[in-house]
Amino acid sequence: MSEASPERIWTHQDPDYLPPEIDTSKPSIARVYDAFLGGKDNFAVDRAIATEGMKHFPDGGGGARNNRAMLFRGVKFMTEQGIDQFLDVGSGLPTMDNTHSVAQRINPDARVVYVDNDPIVLAHARALLQTNDNTRVITADMREPEAIFEHPKVRGFLDFSRPIGLLLVAVVHHLGDDEGPAELVDTYKSRLASGSYLQLTHFCSCAPEVRALEGVLLSMLGTGRARDLKEITRFFDGLDLVEPGVVHLPEWRPDEPVRQPLDLAGNCIAGGVGRKP
């Protein structure tokens, strides 16, 4: 690893440089997810978990890609409804396409704040977002919503007196039952103006293979809980669910007819979009 300097920005054109805050000896959720997606921003310790997970659930990558695809369909839908500001909590690593690129293709003035507690997301996003004035990224923990809403880079940039699109996409399953995930999501919803949307997706306990993958994630990564459709639907309490409701992701407003029955990758994550009345 080469010397860090504050000016130096991590890019794939500079592969020898690694920001000092990145610990490659321990796995990270963002990097394991990137490994499932076939990305380049992961290390041996992350790939070992993805490889072990795929022994039980060979198309783990398909599940992750379905999740990204539904994320984009949801952001497109919300932007078409007039939403022009997004708070993307647990955003992960910006890949080729992302929340801001989808929203800004429709509305170039749409603002996006990415929030993640993994420093690799900030390091990577700095390079990617250098020239995008309508997009910001902060390092914060979703379990501290006030710290996010009151963050100096968020307040004043997003106007919480107007509708926003809140994204909790594939992140709430990283909370244990003892951390009160439903109550935490309720806190976020209570901060949203009427007309705001919540898009939430969640690892779904639908098959033995998913339970096996959950076992690998919990034992090797310490996090990644599958919940059933009823528990996932509970996160939308108090919101008007956008049709077709909480479903397995390929079934959420697909661009093309969906082949039934869904395969495992199609069934392993569920979610939806709800509007605050």
Residue 170 found at the interface with ligand SAM (CB under 6 A) = yes
Stretch that binds ligand SAM, among 4-12, 47-55, 89-97, 187-195 (CB under 6 A): 89-97
CB of 117 or CB of 135, closer to ligand SAM = 117
Dihedral over Cα of 246, 199, 236, 60: its sign: positive
Q: Between the CA of residue 126 and those of 13, 70, 135, 253, what are the distances in Å? A: 14, 25, 10, 32
Among 35, 50, 171, 217, binds ligand SAM (CB under 6 A): 171
CB of 45 or CB of 260, closer to ligand SAM = 45
Distance CA 167, CA 69 (A): 14
Among 79, 85, 91, 205, binds ligand SAM (CB under 6 A): 91
Among 50, 137, 138, 142, binds ligand SAM (CB under 6 A): 142
Shortest Å distance, C-beta 122 to ligand SAM? 11
Opening angle at CA 154, ends 92 and 5, nearest 5? 65
**Side-chain half-sphere exposure of 240, counting CA atoms within 13 A:** 7
Scanning the structure block, which residue is given the tokens 């902060």? 138
Stretch that binds ligand SAM, among 5-13, 40-48, 86-94, 180-188 (CB under 6 A): 86-94
Among 10, 27, 33, 73, binds ligand SAM (CB under 6 A): 33
Among 42, 104, 117, 267, binds ligand SAM (CB under 6 A): 117
Among 41, 46, 84, 116, binds ligand SAM (CB under 6 A): 116
Residue 27 found at the interface with ligand SAM (CB under 6 A) = no
Shortest Å distance, C-beta 203 to ligand SAM? 9
CB of 75 or CB of 83, closer to ligand SAM = 75
Residue 92 found at the interface with ligand SAM (CB under 6 A) = yes
Shortest Å distance, C-beta 68 to ligand SAM? 5
User: Three-state SS for 173?
Assistant: helix
User: Three-state SS for 227?
Assistant: strand
CB of 90 or CB of 163, closer to ligand SAM = 90
Non-local (6+) Cβ contacts of 266 within 8 A are 62, 66, 248, 249, 250, 251, 258
The phi-psi region of residue 53 (left if phi > 0; otherwise alpha if psi is between -120 and 50; otherwise beta) is alpha
User: Three-state SS for 69?
Assistant: helix
Residue 113 found at the interface with ligand SAM (CB under 6 A) = no
The long-range contacts involving 33-38, CB below 8 angstroms and separated by at least 24 positions, are: 33/64, 33/92, 33/93, 33/170, 34/92, 34/93, 34/95, 36/60, 36/61, 36/63, 36/64, 37/61, 37/64, 37/65, 37/68, 37/95
Among 56, 65, 143, 253, binds ligand SAM (CB under 6 A): 143
* Interface residue list for ligand SAM (CB under 6 A): 29-30, 33, 67-68, 71, 90-92, 116-118, 121, 141-143, 169-171, 174
